[in-house]
């Protein structure tokens, strides 16, 4: 098997004058996996119509996920107004910095609220324990309830309210044979 450097592809006939700048080959534009998939379906990625359709599709697909417009679009912007690319990149970087700042502020605020709630919970629990110690002098059952509710917060209060005054159901007598 001879290898002439073409990897099984047919040589292309020159279609442009020698002085014109060469267009980028589809291999340079499209991912290799995409080219392989196209070839497996019998589609030639070197066909100019296919290349143009793929270029438009890829541009539309990736334009929403990238921080900047794809390079072909940036190049067109540069052709219209040379300083526009720098302005777009500067605006994008400023927007990114602003979003990072907003996320940092939101995180710091959330952490501050969480820390405050921890301190308030500790003060309520401590106050409940002090109050239950004072109430223990008068009524032990009330002191236990106050301690459980003070430390357990609303969940313990709901559980106590649900289970406090339930009449105990007698068990049926065991049958002796």
Q: Dump pLDDT digits (tens) for 100-121.
A: 999 999 999 999 999 998 898 8
Asked if residues 38 and 26 have their Cβ atoms less than 8 Å apart, the reply is no
Q: Dump pLDDT digits (tens) for 147-163.
A: 888 888 777 777 777 77
Provide the b/e sequence for 80-89 (b: ≥16 CB within 10 Å). Answer: eeeeebeebe
Residue 176, pLDDT above cutoff 90: no
Q: Dump pLDDT digits (tens) for 26-46.
A: 445 567 777 888 888 888 888
Cα–Cα distance, 135 to 137 (Å, whole number): 5
pLDDT at position 106: 95
Show the tokens assigned to 145.
């309830």
Residue 20 per-residue DSSP state: S
Residue with the larger pLDDT of the pair 86 and 66: 86
Give the count of beta carbons closer than 10 Å to the beta carbon of residue 150: 19
Asked if residues 35 and 27 have their Cβ atoms less than 8 Å apart, the reply is yes
- The angle formed by the CA atoms of residues 102, 108 and 113, to the nearest 5 degrees, is 125
Select from 93, 69, 94 the least CA-distant residue to 80.
69
Cα–Cα distance, 124 to 111 (Å, whole number): 20
Residue 146 per-residue DSSP state: H
């Amino acid at each position: 098997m001879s290898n002439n450097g073409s990897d099984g592809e047919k040589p292309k006939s020159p279609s442009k004058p020698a002085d014109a700048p060469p267009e980028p080959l589809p291999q340079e534009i499209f991912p290799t996996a995409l080219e392989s998939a196209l070839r497996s379906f019998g589609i030639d990625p070197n066909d100019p119509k296919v290349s143009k359709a793929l270029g438009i599709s890829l541009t539309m697909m990736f334009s929403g996920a990238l921080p900047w417009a794809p390079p072909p679009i940036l190049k067109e912007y540069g052709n219209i107004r040379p300083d526009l690319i720098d302005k777009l990149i500067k605006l994008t970087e400023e927007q990114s910095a602003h979003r990072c700042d907003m996320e940092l502020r939101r995180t710091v605020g959330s952490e501050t609220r969480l820390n405050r709630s921890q301190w308030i919970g500790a003060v309520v629990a401590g106050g409940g324990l002090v109050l239950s110690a004072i109430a223990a002098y008068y009524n032990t059952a009330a002191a236990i309830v106050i301690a459980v509710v003070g430390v357990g917060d609303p969940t313990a209060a709901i559980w106590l309210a649900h289970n406090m005054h339930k009449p105990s159901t007698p068990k049926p007598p065991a049958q002796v044979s």
